[in-house]
Amino acid sequence: MDIVKRGAAALGAIGTVQKKSAATRERVLDAAARIFREHGYAATTLNDIADAAGLKTASLYYHFGSKEELVEEVLRIGTTLVLEAVKSRLAQLPADASFRDRLKVAVHAHLDTLLSLTDYTSADIRIIGQVPADVRARVWPLREEYGEIWQGLLQFGKQTGAVRTGADLGLMRMLILGTLNYATEWYKPGRKPVSAVAEEATAMILGGIGTAP
């Protein structure tokens, strides 16, 4: 019985340590996303991130072996948050949903995630061109996966006659995402709800690429 109790206590202690470690790792990532967003990749040091997370730099190495490893995870989280939000909301639409409805949902999901989780998503947008090439190469497949969601959406619009026949869908996709992403630079919480911004963005996109009624 004593052995059983000691075993249970040991397992409980391990679980507590693991939870604490996970919480600390999350704190480091949150701090890193904020610092990378504010100062860029090159100007940010591990000391800066450790200080922001309330840790000694040596303790930070327990969770991440290098600045490159840390920024890669920040970028991965930033892209995944937007990708999963858009994919999930599109999947909830009925199979016969129109291009307009699908576009509206995608724009809303993108902006909702972008503007409510700004440290990760803004860091992803702002520093992707600053990080080492090997880091960028490892996270690029996620960005391509997200781009393919929008490419498929625009292709659906073209096939159903909602997007003009001669449109360059690749260029259109980049222009739309570039416009939406820039919202992180000018959007001020409280001035106008994200839903209103998304409505206006959808109307502007459709006004530019929609076929004449």
Structural domain spans, the chain: 1-65, 67-213
Q: Quick one: what percent of the chain has pLDDT higher than 70?
A: 87
Provide the mean pLDDT of the chain. 84
Superfamily, domain 1-65:
Homeodomain-like (1.10.10.60)
pLDDT at residue 193 in the model: 85
pLDDT at residue 19 in the model: 55
- Hey, what CATH class is 67-213 in? mainly alpha
Those residues of the chain that have pLDDT short of 50 are: 4-18
Supply angle C-alpha 76, 82, 84, rounded to 5. 90
